[in-house]
Structure 1
Amino acid sequence: MVIAVIVGAGAGGGAIVFRMCIKTFTHLLSGHDDYAAAGGSANPHVPWLGPFFVLIVPIIGGLLYGPLVNRFAKEARGHGVPEVMLAVAQKGSRISPKVAVVKTIASALTIGSGGSVGREGPIVQIGAALGSTLGRLVKLTEDRMKLVVACGAAGGIAATFNAPLAGVFFAMELILGTFSAEAFGATVLASVTASVIGRAKFGNAAFLTLPDFHVDHLVQYALFALLGVLAGALGVGFMRVLYAIEDLCDWAYRGPEWLRPAAGGLLLGLVLLALPEMYGVGYPVLQNATEGKYAIGFLLLLVVGKMIATSLTIGIGGSGGVFAPGLFIGACFGAAFGAVVHDVMPGSGGAVGAYALVGMGAVFSGSARAPITAVVILFELTGEYSIILPMMLAIVLATVVSKLMTGDTIYTLKLRRRGIDLGGPVAGAPIGGQLVSSVMEPLPAPLSASTPLADAADLLSLSDHGALPVHDERDGYRGVVTAQAAAEALAEQPDGAPATAGDLAQLPARITADQPLAAALHHLVSASGGVPVLDTETDQPVGWLSHQGALRALHPGTARVAAARTQPEPVSA
């Protein structure tokens, strides 16, 4: 609890420093507090250049942050969140403390010099680095290290968006990938602490001021559902454009890496000259879109422009997040969708801003596949409960569409392109790369689904695994019954207790003989006594995977001998 509070305070302070750096560099290089809202004005520092100064500032910024990142922390390049996910999943949650310093300066320079990226990715990486550093100083275990890194990420999101709940769910949904009471408690402490510190500096207002939204007609639910489907596909499209342009930049550039941001800065400058609304994060433009201040054609231009500008900023080696660009794209697309609906159905279409808000959450969830975070952060931004139902509908549909279109998210795809599978075996690890078939044991004799509960409990008490498969009268696989489940059932009142083993059987996660052991271990960790291994084609049990069997992968010869000597257990009468 104490460490969570300290990490939250550090993340809150880091968010303040980071935002002040962005403001300083933006004003220094553009002459405005936020040039995206300046409408292509000249830079007061060099008025004689007119709007053409945007051709130069990305080059200047690149010359400053390019060598810094290349020399001191190459992992500070890009959008940050994938690196934190990788550290938690496969690197013992170890993140170098210098990443916090380099990421702060590099991302602030990227955004201040016109880079069309967000500030949430950097602050997640900054907060996570602070948590990792503190965790190593006090010599925490690996499980606790994961928690403090998640606390840093939660605190960073909470402070930068003034959205403490969103910080909690972002950390659990994307960084930890799991939910537990302990993780929730720790991240809440960090998130609240960071929010208090952030609000002391920036006030209680959310980073966006959105109008009140209401759903006036039932027909709007169908329209929001359609928007969710389209926005989910758009989120996947944004992800593919991002990495396609990054590939194009990799193919085109042949010079030293430290010079790459400056060399590509001219291309980014041309985009900013044509569409100055792409300068920096662009929150004023996003807010104007939610208020219905732009025409449909211009909104669609902003959607395309943001995709290209963000992808180009990341592709040339810039440092910044993709969360805010996703919100921007979603707001503009949703506003365009709402404007079309308003023109076609003026009496029942509803406010344009409601579609912009829902579009924000749906595009983000379509690209990041984090529906809980999307719902919570938008609820915190508006405080308007009436929009929750259509928002949830659209975000869930966007998530489903995204899942059907691709197995990756905008974060995991970056890692997969580097040959890293967060759910797969780690290169060089003693176990994980083996197939399940090489370490599985013979299948214990199954229980009949009609076996009385008392008899099933006797057999489970004699089992080496504390769990047994259950088959029905036709020898069809019904699931697994565990000693824990049987003991809990026998402790119930007689009238409420299950009568047979079949009533207690539950289907565990599907593990097949041809799977890598690393993929099966994720499911085995939460299993009690082990899980059946299924045939790939028939889905019938052909073996048994236990924790002991997985450890035998360290000694393949021993594993084969142990498996050969293991005999099926006696079948009940």
Structure 2
Amino acid sequence: MRHRAAHLGDFTVRPRMLLITGGALLVGGAGAVAALALLRLIGLVTNLVFYQRWRVSLVAPGLHHPWWLVLGAPVTGGLVIGLMARYGSEKIRGHGMPEAIEAILTGGSRVAPRVAVLKPISAAISIGTGGPFGAEGPIIMTGGAIGSILAQALRLTADERKTLLVSGAAAGMAATFNSPLASVLLAVELLLFEWRPRSFVPVVGAVAVSTVCRGLLLGTGPIFPVSAAGLHTGGAVDALCVLAGVIGGTLAVAATWLVYRAEDGFARLPFHWMWWPAIGGAVIGLGGLIEPRALGVGYDVIDQLLTGRATVSLIVGILVVKTLIWSLSLGSGTSGGVLAPVFMIGGAVGAAEGLVFPQVMPGFWAMMGLAAVVGGVMRSPLTGVVFTLELTHAWAAGLPLLISSTAAYALSVLLLKRSVLTEKIARRGLHLTREYSTDPLETFFVEEVMDRDPDILDRADTLDEALMRTLRAGEQPDDGQRLFPVTDGGGPPYAVVSRRALLDATSRAVNNGAPATVADIAAPVPVVLRPDDTLRRAAYLFAEHGITEAPVVSVERGIVGMVTLPHLLHARLHDLTEEHHRQRLLPRQAPASDGDGGTEPAPDRLKINADR
């Protein structure tokens, strides 16, 4: 029966999808170039600040620098970012993904052009002066800004602008990490808030173009290659992956808590937020004096962790220092991403587990920790798994990664209301859910909930006749059906009349002494529904035309019913029943007969129609 709703436009592939896909391909190429430019800019700032040389290669800040440079560089970078945010655009503050989500949900997917310029520059300054952040958050915002700017130059809907914005964001991610599948998953799990061809196809197109361009510019190999040849995990190792996920999830919860406690602490400071990134920079500098390898984007450290070459001192230093300076400085509102630090922190906790867990292969437990912390911090377990696989190309580790990431995700859901990505949005007064399910209104048809015995008027009826016909026995004037289809000798409705209009017209006719008919007061019918329309389409039409009732017309039988707003709640009631009603379907003893030899049926979709 479900094929009857295929005529609806909500789920058909529209020709405009091809136009948006064409725009997404352009955005994908631009996103790849922007990602390369950001990486080069980070390398340039790092080389200038810590090595006093003019190079663009991506390097670590290093181990041997004067204390005043390690401490002063992040503070200076924070001062510059604060000035840029105050006098340029406040949108450059933060790690990029909450800002992109907020632009989608509340800003009509509009991003100011200056953000596309200021965000990568601020991120390069933040990371290049020692900030323990990643490039992916800023490139998400930058790529999203590129897509949004193109969309704003065209005549597009807000949903189409969203598609191009997300296409740019996903393209930037794919080019940064050579991770097309994870970038598409990130778009679906975090940014699109839907899974429809109209958005999925353009995003994949943008990611594909970006990945191809990335291969031409930076190569096609994995960022952190790990050899998993001959990897075989048994039940004992898989069980330990659950424990690894729980430990990673606990760290994810703690880091998320630290980020927002830090944000609360900065918000209580008695001076302007422009100065907060400089204070965050002081925290970074102090951490750098303890563990210099915690500074910067840290790709070299992630590589050591995932390949099993990290020393105990590095593991402990990253686990403690990196977690603290990243969490505390991010709360200051500086510019920088979360993924690379999460990769490093997760790899460190996994490497620490590898010191006591059974040896599987070099870097195995670091991979488990990485996927777990990503799944817990970002609440994106599938993205965590696929990211880890694409970063390492250790495809044989898919099942253990899935176990660890999901365990961490489950723990995070149980202990925290929101993720590090959505808490900031919630604090700005926006309720956000990322749980996907079928709309109950889409699973019911109009004919299943409609009033099958509506009052129907004829255009030739007098007002007195119409009023008597519409006042059923025992009803008050404001009860029951309030809108009445009007026909011309039967057949489909050509107009409608409300009960209020009938009462008012009857009162005027009595006072004036002039007879009147229904045709004199009838209004054109605004909406006609069909029995095989879904309740979702009915709700859209009600909202579009500002109505609360509509006749249901069959081609063969004419008017067959009326649908009102309360009828739409029947689908929600059914959804609540399925979610909360608990019953035993297989009884412990022989089931009691219902008198006809059968057993009591479970509540189902027909139950809600029993009294109509």
TM-score normalized by the length of structure 1: 0.72
Residue from 401, 418, 422 that aligns with 1:412: 422
State the shift of 1:554 in Å.
9.5
Q: Is the 8 A contact 2:368 2:401 kept in 1?
A: yes
SS at match of 1:24: helix
SS at match of 1:66: helix
**1:564–1:571 CA distance, 2 compared to 1 (3 A):** closer
**1:336–1:377 CA distance, 2 compared to 1 (3 A):** same
**1:529–1:106 CA distance, 2 compared to 1 (3 A):** same
Q: Is 2:384 aligned against 1:368?
A: no
Q: Separation in 2 of the partners of 1:397 and 1:565?
A: 41
Partner AA of 1:3 in structure 2: G
Q: Is the 8 A contact 1:86 1:422 kept in 2?
A: no
Q: Is 2:350 aligned against 1:334?
A: yes
| Structure-2 residue corresponding to 1:453 | none
Q: Is 2:29 aligned against 1:9?
A: yes
Q: Is the 8 A contact 1:208 1:287 kept in 2?
A: yes
Which runs of structure 2 are paired with 1:383-402 in the superposition (5 Å)? 383-402=393-412
Q: Which 10-residue stretch deviates more, 286-295 or 27-36?
A: 27-36
Q: Is the 8 A contact 2:306 2:367 kept in 1?
A: yes
Residue from 209, 212, 218 that aligns with 1:202: 218
Q: Is 2:166 aligned against 1:130?
A: no
Q: Spell out, residue by residue over 1:132-167, the C-alpha distance to the aligned partner (whole angstroms, 9 max, x if none).
A: 110010121122111111101110100011111111
Q: Is 2:554 aligned against 1:529?
A: no
SS at match of 1:62: helix
**1:133–1:87 CA distance, 2 compared to 1 (3 A):** same
Which runs of structure 2 are paired with 1:102-501 in the superposition (5 Å)? 102-212=118-228, 214-251=231-268, 253-296=269-312, 298-342=314-358, 349-423=359-433
Q: Spell out, residue by residue over 1:453-483, the C-alpha distance to the aligned partner (whole angstroms, 9 max, x if none).
A: xxx9976797699xxxxxxxxxxxxxxxxxx
State the shift of 1:399 in Å.
1.3
State the shift of 1:312 in Å.
2.8
Partner AA of 2:48 in structure 1: L
Q: Is the 8 A contact 1:212 1:382 kept in 2?
A: no
Q: Is the 8 A contact 2:446 2:534 kept in 1?
A: no
SS at match of 1:341: coil
Q: Separation in 2 of the partners of 1:297 and 1:407?
A: 34
Partner AA of 1:152 in structure 2: G
**1:210–1:462 CA distance, 2 compared to 1 (3 A):** same
Q: Separation in 2 of the partners of 1:570 and 1:391?
A: 46
State the shift of 1:351 in Å.
2.4
State the shift of 1:30 in Å.
1.0
**1:463–1:202 CA distance, 2 compared to 1 (3 A):** farther
State the shift of 1:74 in Å.
0.3
**1:263–1:219 CA distance, 2 compared to 1 (3 A):** closer
**1:352–1:135 CA distance, 2 compared to 1 (3 A):** same
| Structure-1 residue corresponding to 2:605 | none
User: What RMSD, in angstroms, separates the aligned Cα atoms of the two structures?
Assistant: 3.3
Q: Spell out, residue by residue over 1:320-348, the C-alpha distance to the aligned partner (whole angstroms, 9 max, x if none).
A: 11111111111000111011114xxxxxx
SS at match of 1:355: helix
Q: Spell out, residue by residue over 1:273-300, the C-alpha distance to the aligned partner (whole angstroms, 9 max, x if none).
A: 1110111111111211223333446423
State the shift of 1:177 in Å.
2.4
| Structure-1 residue corresponding to 2:48 | 28
Q: Is the 8 A contact 1:5 1:189 kept in 2?
A: yes
Q: Separation in 2 of the partners of 1:237 and 1:570?
A: 49
SS at match of 2:535: coil
Q: Percent identity?
A: 32
Q: Spell out, residue by residue over 1:295-315, the C-alpha distance to the aligned partner (whole angstroms, 9 max, x if none).
A: 446423311211211123223
SS at match of 1:104: helix
State the shift of 1:382 in Å.
2.3
Q: Which 10-residue stretch deviates more, 101-110 or 69-78?
A: 69-78
Q: Which runs of 5 or more residues in structure 1 are unaligned?
A: 43-49, 343-348, 425-446, 448-455, 466-526, 532-544, 556-561
Q: Separation in 2 of the partners of 1:115 and 1:464?
A: 70
Q: Separation in 1 of the partners of 2:433 and 2:83?
A: 34
Q: Is the 8 A contact 2:294 2:317 kept in 1?
A: no
Q: Which runs of 5 or more residues in structure 2 are unaligned?
A: 1-20, 435-443, 455-532, 549-563, 571-607
Q: Spell out, residue by residue over 1:25-82, the C-alpha distance to the aligned partner (whole angstroms, 9 max, x if none).
A: 01011118666473x212xxxxxxx344111111221232221121111011011101
- Alignment coverage as a number of residue pairs: 450
Q: Separation in 1 of the partners of 2:116 and 2:341?
A: 22
State the shift of 1:420 in Å.
2.1
State the shift of 1:553 in Å.
8.3
State the shift of 1:210 in Å.
2.7
Which runs of structure 2 are paired with 1:506-521 in the superposition (5 Å)? none
**1:387–1:464 CA distance, 2 compared to 1 (3 A):** farther
State the shift of 1:384 in Å.
2.4
| Structure-2 residue corresponding to 1:470 | none
State the shift of 1:178 in Å.
2.3
Q: Separation in 2 of the partners of 1:419 and 1:572?
A: 41
| Structure-1 residue corresponding to 2:573 | none
**1:563–1:135 CA distance, 2 compared to 1 (3 A):** closer
Q: Is 2:25 aligned against 1:19?
A: no
| Structure-2 residue corresponding to 1:345 | none
**1:530–1:260 CA distance, 2 compared to 1 (3 A):** closer
SS at match of 2:430: coil
| Structure-2 residue corresponding to 1:480 | none
Q: Separation in 2 of the partners of 1:399 and 1:151?
A: 26
Q: Which 10-residue stretch deviates more, 257-266 or 97-106?
A: 257-266
Partner AA of 2:28 in structure 1: G
Q: Separation in 2 of the partners of 1:27 and 1:307?
A: 25
Q: Separation in 1 of the partners of 2:263 and 2:188?
A: 29
SS at match of 2:156: coil
Residue from 87, 98, 113 that aligns with 1:71: 87
**1:115–1:548 CA distance, 2 compared to 1 (3 A):** same
Residue from 41, 50, 67 that aligns with 2:64: 41
Q: Spell out, residue by residue over 1:68-120, the C-alpha distance to the aligned partner (whole angstroms, 9 max, x if none).
A: 12111101101110111111122211111111101010000000001111111
Q: Separation in 2 of the partners of 1:260 and 1:530?
A: 47
| Structure-2 residue corresponding to 1:495 | none
Q: Spell out, residue by residue over 1:176-207, the C-alpha distance to the aligned partner (whole angstroms, 9 max, x if none).
A: 12222332211111011111222222111222
Q: Spell out, residue by residue over 1:350-391, the C-alpha distance to the aligned partner (whole angstroms, 9 max, x if none).
A: 125111011111101101111221121112122222100111
Q: Is the 8 A contact 2:228 2:396 kept in 1?
A: no
TM-score normalized by the length of structure 2: 0.68
Q: Separation in 1 of the partners of 2:316 and 2:546?
A: 55
SS at match of 2:356: helix
